[in-house]
Amino acid sequence: MSDKDNKTTAEVHDVHNNPGEWSLASVLPDTGTPWYKQRHLLLLNLGMIIPYLSSTTNGYDGSMLNGLQSMSQWQHFFGSPTGTRLGSLSNGVIFGQILAFPVAPWLCDHTGRRFPIFIGSALLVVGAVLQCAAQNYAMFLASRMVIGFGGLIAVEASPMLVSELAYPTHRSVLVGYYNNLWYLGALLAAWVTYGTYFMGPDASWAWRIPSLLQGLFPLVQVIFIYLLPESPRYLVQKDRYDEARKVLTKYHAGGDENSSLVDFEMKEIILQIQTAKSVSSTGYREFLSTRGNMHRLFIIIAVPCMMQLSGNGLIAYYLHLILNSIGFTSDPQQLRINGGLTVFNLGVSVILASFMEIVGRRRLFLFSTVGMLCCYVIWTILSAVNEQRGFHDTSLGTGVIVMIFMYQLFYNAGLNGPPWVYVTEVLPTHLRAKGTNIMQIASTCVILFNGYANPVAMDAISWKYYIVYCCVIAVEIALVYFGFPETKGHSLEEVALIFDGEEAFGEVSEKQTPAEV
């Protein structure tokens, strides 16, 4: 057994037997210098932009399809699809994601976090080119399936890399920003489609240009992803301790090989992962093996359902149907509203994410769901009265638009930034890839429902469909209140204590090397 193995084993045993010394706050360096003036932290945080672009591409897709539906050029080229035919185009991405479900967690567990982002982004570039070149409905649908397949692989790995690589005190805000960058893509798509709309009534490039630009951000990821280091937690999981320590030393301690913070992080990561290895097979059935894991399973299913089933699917993919229902039917008018909404969302979401560590996750979830319910109730009432008056009272339609903006404010507070922070926190390293996959499966099931049910229901019963979402959001408030514990102020490994108690860290023998534990 080498000296390094002895050192690592001693560190692990020391953490287990000295819990009173187990405090992140006690090992954080007090440099007195803001993080943006410390080169290693500045480079690390700027590097997070690369995985962020997975979320940006995802946002671009939703907003682009919204914009295309408001373009007469796209409608004429594809025969003005409605109902299930329109739903299939929205769900084309979902069909591709379904095919990627078995692949994504395997890649994350066996190749790390960077390679899935690379290969997923490369497939997104291919899909964007095919989408731009589409000659008919079938080809456009097939291209969206390619986009969905590559997109899911990149999206699963990206927040994991951010969470596992981030400086401890920056993690919640950095992961919170991840989903907020969805709106950057949405903003760009909204205004690109608005601009290309004026190319002419018969110009197919009016919709082909936005389709091609969807491959821009993935191309940037393909080129630059390997400038970021691999996740130290993945490296420890693969028994590559020296590499993990080098990453933490360089990016968390600025090269200080005697850093107490790095020692603490290594001890914590090793102990949590080795304990998990000694008692688990890291299969999906492990989510049913303990009460703590079943609680985790509840959360990672509930959170994506809330993200997609709170009425936001109507705004994300069928805003033009909402605007039609309140009398705003002009193409340029709809495109301007879509663009303005994305600008508002981006600004609000970034501001709110900055307060995540101050307010906490649970409070933001409650604030969000209660606020959304209030907005949806008022939105429903205004839409009903507007229809009864034959859409002649423009102030009522304007009131609905105001409620849409207010709804987005509350949605962004709790269901845009916090979900990825919360899910990556509650999942231990050895289950993070599979748990994220379960989250994506749950999200996909709800999006699939939204893709087919929303346009059909809006065509059939118009504003009355909003009542369904009022009921759903009311249920969500109860789920958060009774089932979501607070995780604020804990490291990724310390959160395990909330769900598993002292069983989160088992005994580690002094006589065993890290590889043997």
CB 18 within 8 A of CB 147: no
Spatial contact of 369 and 377, defined as CB atoms under 8 Å apart: no
Q: Dmax over Cα atoms in the chain, in whole Å?
A: 83
CA separation for the pair 489, 356 (Å, rounded): 11
3-state secondary structure of 57: helix
State how far Cα 228 lies from the chain centre: 19
Report CA dihedral (328, 332, 336, 338) to the nearest 10 degrees.
70
In the chain, what is the straight-line distance between the N-terminal and C-terminal CA atoms, in Å?
Answer: 13
Report the CATH superfamily, name and number, of domain 5-16+38-502. MFS general substrate transporter like domains (1.20.1250.20)
Q: Rounded distance, CA 234 to CA 160, Å?
A: 10
For residue 229, what is the DSSP state? Answer: P
Q: What is the pLDDT of residue 280?
A: 59
Which token pair is 307?
């993200």
Torsion sign across C-alpha atoms 248, 252, 257, 263: negative
pLDDT at 51: 97
Element (H, E) at 357: helix 356-359
Which helix (H) or strand (E) element contains residue 76?
helix 72-77
Q: Give the H or E element holding residue 297.
A: helix 291-308
Contact 260, 27 (CB under 8 A): yes
- How far apart CA 361 and CA 367 sit, in angstroms, is 10
Q: What is the pLDDT of residue 279?
A: 62
Alpha carbon 97 to its chain centroid, in Å, reads: 14
The Cα–Cα gap between 94 and 441 comes to 10
CA–CA dist 510, 29 (Å, integer): 29
The radius of gyration computed from the CA coordinates of the chain, to the nearest angstrom, equals 24
The encoded tokens of residue 130 equal 């095919």
Task: Using the Cα atoms of residue 354, residue 359, residue 365 and residue 366 in order, give the sign of their dihedral.
Answer: negative
> What residues contact 362, with CB distance under 8 A and at least 6 apart?
480, 484, 485, 486
Contact indicator for 114, 226 with CB cutoff of 8 Å: yes
Backbone phi and psi for residue 222, each to the nearest 5 degrees, phi listed first: -60, -40
Q: List, in order, residues 6 or more apart from 267 with CB less than 8 Å away.
A: 11, 12, 14, 15
Q: Write the DSSP string, 84-100.
A: HHHHHHHHHHHHHHHHH
pLDDT in tens, the chain (517 residues): 444 444 444 444 454 444 445 577 788 888 888 999 999 999 999 999 999 999 999 989 878 887 888 788 998 998 888 777 877 877 788 889 889 999 999 999 999 999 999 999 999 999 999 999 999 988 999 999 999 999 999 999 999 999 999 999 899 889 988 988 888 998 898 889 889 988 988 889 999 999 999 999 999 999 999 999 999 999 999 999 999 999 999 999 999 999 999 999 999 899 888 877 776 566 788 899 889 999 999 999 999 999 988 988 777 656 766 777 677 777 777 778 877 887 888 888 888 887 887 888 999 999 999 999 999 899 888 878 877 777 666 777 788 888 889 999 999 999 888 888 899 889 988 888 899 989 989 988 887 787 777 777 877 877 788 888 999 999 999 999 999 999 887 878 788 888 887 666 654 433 343 433 3
For the record, the structure tokens of 484 come out as: 């979501």
- Kindly write down the DSSP assignment for every residue of 311-326, as one continuous string: SHHHHHHHHHHHHHHT
H helices then E strands: how many in the chain?
A: 26, 0
